[in-house]
Structure 1
Amino acid sequence: MAADRTLLGIVGSVSDPSKTATAVETALEAAAERDGVTTETLRLSDHDLVTADGRTLDAYEGDTAAALEAIVEADAYVVGTPIYRGSLSGALKNLFDMVPRGMWQADVAPFEDAAVGLVATGATNHHYLAIDQELRPIFGFFGAHTVGGSVYATDDHFESLADGGDGTDDAGGAGGYAVADDALGERLADLGRATVELDAALADADALTGLGPQF
Protein backbone atom coordinates (compact mmCIF):
# COMPACT_ATOMS: atom_id res chain seq x y z
CA MET A 1 0.00 0.00 0.00
CA ALA A 2 1.26 3.46 -0.81
CA ALA A 3 2.39 5.60 2.10
CA ASP A 4 -0.21 7.32 4.22
CA ARG A 5 -3.19 5.24 3.17
CA THR A 6 -6.32 4.88 5.31
CA LEU A 7 -8.10 1.54 5.57
CA LEU A 8 -11.62 1.99 6.91
CA GLY A 9 -13.50 -0.85 8.55
CA ILE A 10 -17.25 -0.50 8.05
CA VAL A 11 -19.29 -2.53 10.55
CA GLY A 12 -22.85 -2.98 9.34
CA SER A 13 -24.18 -4.27 12.66
CA VAL A 14 -26.20 -2.08 15.01
CA SER A 15 -25.47 -4.37 17.98
CA ASP A 16 -22.87 -3.48 20.60
CA PRO A 17 -20.86 -5.55 21.21
CA SER A 18 -20.90 -7.26 17.85
CA LYS A 19 -19.33 -10.39 16.38
CA THR A 20 -19.17 -8.57 13.06
CA ALA A 21 -17.19 -5.75 14.64
CA THR A 22 -14.81 -8.26 16.24
CA ALA A 23 -14.21 -9.89 12.84
CA VAL A 24 -13.65 -6.60 11.00
CA GLU A 25 -11.31 -5.27 13.67
CA THR A 26 -9.28 -8.49 13.59
CA ALA A 27 -8.66 -7.91 9.89
CA LEU A 28 -7.77 -4.26 10.54
CA GLU A 29 -5.23 -5.19 13.21
CA ALA A 30 -3.26 -7.26 10.70
CA ALA A 31 -3.50 -4.54 8.05
CA ALA A 32 -2.20 -1.94 10.50
CA GLU A 33 1.08 -3.87 10.78
CA ARG A 34 2.02 -2.68 7.28
CA ASP A 35 4.05 0.51 6.97
CA GLY A 36 2.10 3.59 5.97
CA VAL A 37 -1.30 2.12 6.82
CA THR A 38 -3.72 3.85 9.18
CA THR A 39 -6.89 2.01 10.16
CA GLU A 40 -10.17 3.45 11.34
CA THR A 41 -13.52 1.87 12.16
CA LEU A 42 -17.01 3.11 11.27
CA ARG A 43 -19.48 1.25 13.45
CA LEU A 44 -23.11 1.87 12.53
CA SER A 45 -24.09 1.13 16.13
CA ASP A 46 -22.38 4.42 17.04
CA HIS A 47 -24.25 6.48 14.43
CA ASP A 48 -27.86 7.58 14.19
CA LEU A 49 -28.25 7.60 10.42
CA VAL A 50 -31.19 9.12 8.58
CA THR A 51 -33.03 7.14 5.93
CA ALA A 52 -31.65 7.55 2.43
CA ASP A 53 -33.90 9.77 0.35
CA GLY A 54 -31.78 10.80 -2.62
CA ARG A 55 -30.58 14.13 -1.27
CA THR A 56 -27.18 15.48 -2.26
CA LEU A 57 -24.13 14.62 -0.18
CA ASP A 58 -23.74 18.12 1.24
CA ALA A 59 -27.32 18.09 2.53
CA TYR A 60 -26.62 15.49 5.22
CA GLU A 61 -25.88 16.58 8.78
CA GLY A 62 -24.82 15.13 12.12
CA ASP A 63 -24.00 11.42 12.38
CA THR A 64 -24.95 10.78 8.77
CA ALA A 65 -22.60 13.44 7.45
CA ALA A 66 -19.81 12.13 9.70
CA ALA A 67 -20.25 8.54 8.47
CA LEU A 68 -20.24 9.58 4.82
CA GLU A 69 -17.21 11.81 5.34
CA ALA A 70 -15.28 8.87 6.81
CA ILE A 71 -16.07 6.84 3.69
CA VAL A 72 -15.15 9.66 1.31
CA GLU A 73 -11.84 10.29 3.08
CA ALA A 74 -10.73 6.62 3.23
CA ASP A 75 -8.64 4.89 0.57
CA ALA A 76 -9.59 1.23 1.05
CA TYR A 77 -12.18 -0.68 3.05
CA VAL A 78 -12.95 -3.83 4.99
CA VAL A 79 -16.72 -4.14 5.10
CA GLY A 80 -18.57 -6.50 7.41
CA THR A 81 -22.24 -7.28 7.91
CA PRO A 82 -24.38 -9.69 9.87
CA ILE A 83 -26.62 -11.75 7.61
CA TYR A 84 -30.37 -11.39 8.13
CA ARG A 85 -32.86 -13.30 5.96
CA GLY A 86 -30.02 -14.24 3.63
CA SER A 87 -28.93 -10.66 3.01
CA LEU A 88 -26.88 -7.80 4.43
CA SER A 89 -28.21 -5.69 7.27
CA GLY A 90 -30.79 -3.03 6.47
CA ALA A 91 -28.64 -0.43 8.21
CA LEU A 92 -25.71 -1.14 5.90
CA LYS A 93 -27.91 -1.13 2.78
CA ASN A 94 -29.29 2.24 3.89
CA LEU A 95 -25.74 3.58 4.21
CA PHE A 96 -24.82 2.31 0.75
CA ASP A 97 -27.87 4.09 -0.65
CA MET A 98 -26.33 7.37 0.50
CA VAL A 99 -22.76 6.82 -0.74
CA PRO A 100 -22.20 8.93 -3.89
CA ARG A 101 -21.14 7.38 -7.17
CA GLY A 102 -19.71 10.42 -8.92
CA MET A 103 -23.02 11.57 -10.35
CA TRP A 104 -26.32 13.02 -9.13
CA GLN A 105 -25.65 13.21 -5.38
CA ALA A 106 -22.04 14.47 -5.55
CA ASP A 107 -19.00 14.54 -7.83
CA VAL A 108 -17.03 12.13 -5.63
CA ALA A 109 -17.08 8.34 -5.90
CA PRO A 110 -15.21 6.94 -2.86
CA PHE A 111 -15.69 3.25 -3.68
CA GLU A 112 -14.71 3.55 -7.34
CA ASP A 113 -11.39 1.78 -7.99
CA ALA A 114 -10.99 1.16 -4.25
CA ALA A 115 -9.85 -2.11 -2.69
CA VAL A 116 -12.52 -3.75 -0.54
CA GLY A 117 -12.31 -6.81 1.71
CA LEU A 118 -15.60 -8.52 2.56
CA VAL A 119 -16.71 -10.12 5.85
CA ALA A 120 -20.04 -11.56 6.94
CA THR A 121 -21.28 -13.23 10.10
CA GLY A 122 -24.24 -15.50 10.66
CA ALA A 123 -25.65 -17.89 13.20
CA THR A 124 -24.88 -20.89 10.96
CA ASN A 125 -23.16 -21.70 7.66
CA HIS A 126 -26.42 -21.58 5.71
CA HIS A 127 -25.99 -18.07 4.34
CA TYR A 128 -22.29 -17.96 3.48
CA LEU A 129 -23.11 -17.35 -0.19
CA ALA A 130 -24.67 -14.01 0.75
CA ILE A 131 -21.21 -12.45 0.47
CA ASP A 132 -21.04 -13.24 -3.25
CA GLN A 133 -24.74 -12.91 -3.96
CA GLU A 134 -25.42 -9.72 -2.01
CA LEU A 135 -22.29 -7.81 -0.97
CA ARG A 136 -19.98 -8.30 -3.94
CA PRO A 137 -22.51 -7.13 -6.59
CA ILE A 138 -23.08 -3.91 -4.66
CA PHE A 139 -19.39 -3.08 -4.83
CA GLY A 140 -19.36 -4.04 -8.50
CA PHE A 141 -22.06 -1.41 -8.99
CA PHE A 142 -19.81 1.15 -7.32
CA GLY A 143 -16.83 0.14 -9.46
CA ALA A 144 -14.80 -1.17 -6.51
CA HIS A 145 -12.29 -4.01 -6.65
CA THR A 146 -13.09 -6.67 -4.06
CA VAL A 147 -10.53 -9.11 -2.71
CA GLY A 148 -11.17 -12.46 -4.38
CA GLY A 149 -11.44 -14.37 -1.11
CA SER A 150 -13.73 -13.35 1.72
CA VAL A 151 -14.51 -14.41 5.30
CA TYR A 152 -17.76 -15.85 6.61
CA ALA A 153 -17.92 -16.52 10.36
CA THR A 154 -20.56 -18.25 12.46
CA ASP A 155 -21.40 -18.08 16.14
CA ASP A 156 -19.15 -21.09 16.73
CA HIS A 157 -16.10 -19.07 15.66
CA PHE A 158 -16.45 -16.66 18.59
CA GLU A 159 -16.32 -16.83 22.35
CA SER A 160 -18.17 -14.56 24.69
CA LEU A 161 -16.15 -12.51 27.15
CA ALA A 162 -19.17 -12.41 29.44
CA ASP A 163 -17.21 -13.94 32.30
CA GLY A 164 -14.41 -11.41 32.04
CA GLY A 165 -16.20 -8.71 33.97
CA ASP A 166 -16.02 -5.85 31.47
CA GLY A 167 -18.50 -4.58 28.92
CA THR A 168 -21.88 -5.99 28.01
CA ASP A 169 -22.78 -8.73 25.56
CA ASP A 170 -26.00 -9.19 23.57
CA ALA A 171 -27.48 -11.33 26.34
CA GLY A 172 -26.90 -8.65 28.94
CA GLY A 173 -23.86 -10.25 30.56
CA ALA A 174 -20.39 -8.85 30.93
CA GLY A 175 -17.85 -8.76 28.13
CA GLY A 176 -17.89 -8.73 24.36
CA TYR A 177 -16.58 -11.21 21.79
CA ALA A 178 -13.25 -12.64 20.73
CA VAL A 179 -12.34 -14.84 17.79
CA ALA A 180 -12.06 -18.36 19.22
CA ASP A 181 -11.06 -20.22 16.07
CA ASP A 182 -7.39 -19.90 15.11
CA ALA A 183 -8.00 -20.71 11.44
CA LEU A 184 -10.66 -18.03 11.19
CA GLY A 185 -8.44 -15.51 12.96
CA GLU A 186 -5.65 -16.15 10.46
CA ARG A 187 -8.05 -15.92 7.53
CA LEU A 188 -9.28 -12.56 8.82
CA ALA A 189 -5.67 -11.40 9.17
CA ASP A 190 -4.96 -12.54 5.62
CA LEU A 191 -8.00 -10.62 4.41
CA GLY A 192 -6.71 -7.44 6.03
CA ARG A 193 -3.28 -7.93 4.49
CA ALA A 194 -4.78 -8.83 1.11
CA THR A 195 -6.83 -5.63 1.09
CA VAL A 196 -3.62 -3.68 1.72
CA GLU A 197 -1.87 -5.49 -1.13
CA LEU A 198 -4.78 -4.98 -3.52
CA ASP A 199 -4.83 -1.27 -2.73
CA ALA A 200 -1.11 -1.06 -3.50
CA ALA A 201 -1.61 -2.89 -6.81
CA LEU A 202 -4.42 -0.55 -7.79
CA ALA A 203 -2.28 2.47 -6.98
CA ASP A 204 0.19 1.29 -9.64
CA ALA A 205 -2.45 0.19 -12.16
CA ASP A 206 -3.46 1.95 -15.35
CA ALA A 207 -6.18 0.19 -17.35
CA LEU A 208 -7.48 -1.59 -14.22
CA THR A 209 -8.51 1.73 -12.72
CA GLY A 210 -9.66 3.27 -15.97
CA LEU A 211 -12.96 1.49 -16.45
CA GLY A 212 -15.21 2.50 -13.57
CA PRO A 213 -19.00 2.11 -13.76
CA GLN A 214 -20.29 2.25 -17.34
CA PHE A 215 -23.65 3.84 -16.53
Structure 2
Amino acid sequence: MATVLSVSGSPSPTSRTTRLLRLIDAQLEERGHRVVPFEVRSLPAHALLTADLSHPQLAAALELFAEADGVVIGTPVYKAAYSGLLKALLDVLPQYALRDKAVLPLATGGSTAHVLAVDYALRPVLSSMGADHITRGWFVLDRHITVREDGTTVLERETDVLLRPVVEAFAGTLERLAAPALTA
Protein backbone atom coordinates (compact mmCIF):
# COMPACT_ATOMS: atom_id res chain seq x y z
CA MET A 1 0.00 0.00 0.00
CA ALA A 2 1.00 3.63 0.42
CA THR A 3 3.73 5.20 2.51
CA VAL A 4 2.38 7.93 4.78
CA LEU A 5 4.53 10.54 6.49
CA SER A 6 2.84 11.54 9.75
CA VAL A 7 4.20 14.97 10.72
CA SER A 8 3.76 16.55 14.14
CA GLY A 9 4.39 20.28 14.15
CA SER A 10 4.21 20.53 17.93
CA PRO A 11 7.19 21.81 19.88
CA SER A 12 6.03 20.00 23.04
CA PRO A 13 7.47 16.64 24.13
CA THR A 14 4.10 15.84 25.77
CA SER A 15 2.05 16.95 22.80
CA ARG A 16 -1.60 16.01 22.45
CA THR A 17 -1.21 16.72 18.73
CA THR A 18 1.46 14.02 18.47
CA ARG A 19 -0.69 11.62 20.50
CA LEU A 20 -3.61 12.25 18.13
CA LEU A 21 -1.38 11.56 15.15
CA ARG A 22 -0.17 8.28 16.59
CA LEU A 23 -3.79 7.13 17.00
CA ILE A 24 -4.42 7.99 13.35
CA ASP A 25 -1.18 6.25 12.36
CA ALA A 26 -2.52 3.05 13.91
CA GLN A 27 -5.76 3.35 11.93
CA LEU A 28 -3.82 3.79 8.69
CA GLU A 29 -1.55 0.86 9.51
CA GLU A 30 -4.65 -1.30 10.11
CA ARG A 31 -5.57 -0.56 6.48
CA GLY A 32 -2.17 -1.81 5.37
CA HIS A 33 -0.37 1.49 4.89
CA ARG A 34 3.21 2.03 5.99
CA VAL A 35 3.37 5.02 8.34
CA VAL A 36 6.53 6.96 9.10
CA PRO A 37 6.09 9.14 12.22
CA PHE A 38 8.04 12.37 12.19
CA GLU A 39 8.29 15.12 14.80
CA VAL A 40 9.54 18.45 13.48
CA ARG A 41 10.91 19.23 16.95
CA SER A 42 13.48 16.45 16.41
CA LEU A 43 15.27 18.58 13.80
CA PRO A 44 18.24 20.70 14.91
CA ALA A 45 16.88 24.23 15.39
CA HIS A 46 19.87 25.97 13.84
CA ALA A 47 19.73 23.87 10.67
CA LEU A 48 15.98 24.35 10.38
CA LEU A 49 15.99 28.10 11.04
CA THR A 50 18.92 28.78 8.72
CA ALA A 51 17.55 26.43 6.03
CA ASP A 52 20.80 24.47 6.02
CA LEU A 53 19.72 21.85 3.49
CA SER A 54 23.17 20.26 3.66
CA HIS A 55 22.58 19.26 7.30
CA PRO A 56 22.08 15.47 7.31
CA GLN A 57 18.96 15.53 9.50
CA LEU A 58 17.28 18.23 7.45
CA ALA A 59 18.23 16.49 4.20
CA ALA A 60 16.77 13.24 5.58
CA ALA A 61 13.52 15.02 6.49
CA LEU A 62 13.20 16.38 2.95
CA GLU A 63 13.77 12.88 1.63
CA LEU A 64 10.93 11.56 3.81
CA PHE A 65 8.58 14.03 2.13
CA ALA A 66 9.86 13.07 -1.32
CA GLU A 67 9.30 9.35 -0.68
CA ALA A 68 5.83 9.67 0.86
CA ASP A 69 2.63 8.95 -1.05
CA GLY A 70 0.61 10.80 1.56
CA VAL A 71 1.23 13.22 4.39
CA VAL A 72 -0.73 13.72 7.59
CA ILE A 73 0.14 17.11 9.03
CA GLY A 74 -0.80 17.80 12.64
CA THR A 75 -0.31 21.05 14.47
CA PRO A 76 -1.38 22.74 17.64
CA VAL A 77 -3.07 26.07 17.02
CA TYR A 78 -1.31 29.08 18.49
CA LYS A 79 -2.57 32.62 17.90
CA ALA A 80 -5.21 31.37 15.40
CA ALA A 81 -2.66 29.64 13.14
CA TYR A 82 -0.48 26.57 12.86
CA SER A 83 2.73 26.39 14.86
CA GLY A 84 5.80 28.40 13.97
CA LEU A 85 7.80 25.18 14.13
CA LEU A 86 5.67 23.66 11.37
CA LYS A 87 5.97 26.90 9.39
CA ALA A 88 9.77 26.71 9.61
CA LEU A 89 9.68 23.20 8.13
CA LEU A 90 7.22 24.08 5.39
CA ASP A 91 9.45 27.03 4.46
CA VAL A 92 12.46 24.81 3.75
CA LEU A 93 10.58 22.20 1.73
CA PRO A 94 10.72 22.50 -2.05
CA GLN A 95 7.92 24.66 -3.49
CA TYR A 96 5.95 21.68 -4.82
CA ALA A 97 6.90 19.12 -2.19
CA LEU A 98 3.26 18.00 -1.82
CA ARG A 99 2.45 17.56 -5.51
CA ASP A 100 0.72 14.24 -6.28
CA LYS A 101 0.38 13.41 -2.59
CA ALA A 102 -2.74 12.92 -0.48
CA VAL A 103 -2.65 15.36 2.44
CA LEU A 104 -4.67 15.28 5.66
CA PRO A 105 -4.45 18.49 7.72
CA LEU A 106 -5.22 18.22 11.44
CA ALA A 107 -5.12 20.73 14.27
CA THR A 108 -5.59 20.69 18.01
CA GLY A 109 -6.35 23.55 20.32
CA GLY A 110 -7.89 24.67 23.55
CA SER A 111 -10.94 26.44 22.15
CA THR A 112 -13.42 26.06 19.31
CA ALA A 113 -12.48 29.64 18.42
CA HIS A 114 -9.52 28.06 16.57
CA VAL A 115 -11.51 25.58 14.49
CA LEU A 116 -11.09 27.57 11.27
CA ALA A 117 -7.29 27.48 11.47
CA VAL A 118 -7.26 24.26 9.45
CA ASP A 119 -9.11 25.76 6.48
CA TYR A 120 -7.96 29.38 6.65
CA ALA A 121 -4.35 29.10 7.84
CA LEU A 122 -3.01 25.62 7.01
CA ARG A 123 -4.92 24.53 3.89
CA PRO A 124 -3.84 27.51 1.70
CA VAL A 125 -0.16 26.87 2.46
CA LEU A 126 -0.50 23.17 1.68
CA SER A 127 -2.29 24.02 -1.55
CA SER A 128 0.47 26.46 -2.54
CA MET A 129 2.93 23.59 -2.14
CA GLY A 130 1.25 21.64 -4.93
CA ALA A 131 -1.12 19.53 -2.85
CA ASP A 132 -4.17 18.98 -5.04
CA HIS A 133 -5.41 16.01 -3.01
CA ILE A 134 -6.04 17.71 0.34
CA THR A 135 -8.75 15.77 2.11
CA ARG A 136 -11.13 17.30 4.61
CA GLY A 137 -9.15 18.43 7.63
CA TRP A 138 -10.20 18.21 11.24
CA PHE A 139 -9.82 20.16 14.47
CA VAL A 140 -9.79 18.40 17.85
CA LEU A 141 -10.14 20.10 21.20
CA ASP A 142 -7.22 19.36 23.52
CA ARG A 143 -9.58 18.27 26.27
CA HIS A 144 -10.94 15.52 24.00
CA ILE A 145 -7.52 13.84 23.97
CA THR A 146 -6.71 12.19 27.26
CA VAL A 147 -3.84 10.11 28.53
CA ARG A 148 -4.56 7.21 30.83
CA GLU A 149 -2.33 6.30 33.76
CA ASP A 150 -0.81 3.49 31.69
CA GLY A 151 0.23 6.03 29.02
CA THR A 152 -2.33 5.09 26.37
CA THR A 153 -4.11 7.85 24.53
CA VAL A 154 -7.89 7.95 24.32
CA LEU A 155 -10.13 10.21 22.27
CA GLU A 156 -13.44 11.39 23.63
CA ARG A 157 -16.06 9.10 22.09
CA GLU A 158 -17.87 11.67 19.93
CA THR A 159 -14.55 13.01 18.63
CA ASP A 160 -13.46 9.50 17.71
CA VAL A 161 -16.75 8.83 15.91
CA LEU A 162 -16.46 12.07 13.93
CA LEU A 163 -12.76 11.71 13.14
CA ARG A 164 -12.86 8.13 11.83
CA PRO A 165 -14.63 9.02 8.54
CA VAL A 166 -12.07 11.80 7.99
CA VAL A 167 -9.24 9.26 8.31
CA GLU A 168 -11.16 6.77 6.14
CA ALA A 169 -11.58 9.41 3.42
CA PHE A 170 -7.84 10.14 3.52
CA ALA A 171 -7.04 6.42 3.30
CA GLY A 172 -9.46 6.09 0.39
CA THR A 173 -7.72 8.95 -1.42
CA LEU A 174 -4.35 7.28 -0.84
CA GLU A 175 -5.70 4.06 -2.29
CA ARG A 176 -7.23 5.78 -5.35
CA LEU A 177 -3.97 7.60 -6.05
CA ALA A 178 -2.02 4.34 -5.76
CA ALA A 179 -4.44 2.39 -7.99
CA PRO A 180 -3.09 3.67 -11.36
CA ALA A 181 0.43 2.72 -10.28
CA LEU A 182 -0.75 -0.82 -9.55
CA THR A 183 -2.31 -1.26 -12.99
CA ALA A 184 0.54 0.34 -14.93
1:54 is displaced (CA, Å) by 6.1
C-alpha contact 1:32 1:38 (8 A) present in aligned 2: yes
CA distance in 1, matches of 2:30, 2:85: 30
2:146 is the alignment partner of 1:187: no
Please give the residue correspondences for 1:100-115 in structure 2 after superposition, counting only pairs within 5 Å: 100-101=94-95, 109-115=96-102
CA distance in 2, matches of 1:68, 1:28: 20
C-alpha contact 1:12 1:91 (8 A) present in aligned 2: yes
C-alpha contact 1:78 1:192 (8 A) present in aligned 2: no
- Counterpart of 1:62 in structure 2 is 56
Distance of aligned partners of 1:187 and 1:8 in 2 relative to their CA distance in 1, 3 Å threshold: farther
Which of structure 1's runs of 4+ aligned residues deviate more than 4 A? 52-55
Aligned residue among 4, 8, 11 for 2:5: 8
- Counterpart of 1:74 in structure 2 is 68
C-alpha contact 2:4 2:34 (8 A) present in aligned 1: yes
Q: Deviations over 1:168-201 (max 9, x none)?
A: xxxxxxx5x7233012223333333222211222
C-alpha contact 1:28 1:189 (8 A) present in aligned 2: no
CA distance in 1, matches of 2:55, 2:50: 13
Return the structure number with greater strand share.
2
TM normalised by structure 2 equals 0.86
Q: Which amino acid aligns with 1:27?
A: I
Q: Deviations over 1:9-33 (max 9, x none)?
A: 1000011121001111211211111
Aligned residue among 29, 39, 44 for 1:43: 39
Q: Which amino acid aligns with 1:188?
A: L
Unaligned runs of 5+ in 1: 102-108, 165-174, 206-215
Please give the residue correspondences for 1:165-176 in structure 2 after superposition, counting only pairs within 5 Å: 175=151
Aligned residue among 150, 153, 164 for 1:178: 153
CA distance in 1, matches of 2:138, 2:174: 18
Matched residues, number: 178
CA distance in 1, matches of 2:36, 2:160: 19
2:103 is the alignment partner of 1:116: yes
Equivalent residue of 1:65, what SS? helix
CA distance in 1, matches of 2:110, 2:170: 26
Structure with the greater alpha carbon radius of gyration: 1
Aligned residue among 63, 84, 93 for 1:90: 84
CA distance in 1, matches of 2:82, 2:155: 23
Identity of aligned residues (%): 30
1:85 is displaced (CA, Å) by 0.4
Equivalent residue of 1:97, what SS? helix
Root-mean-square deviation (Å)? 2.1
Aligned residue among 163, 174, 180 for 1:199: 174
Unaligned runs of 5+ in 2: none
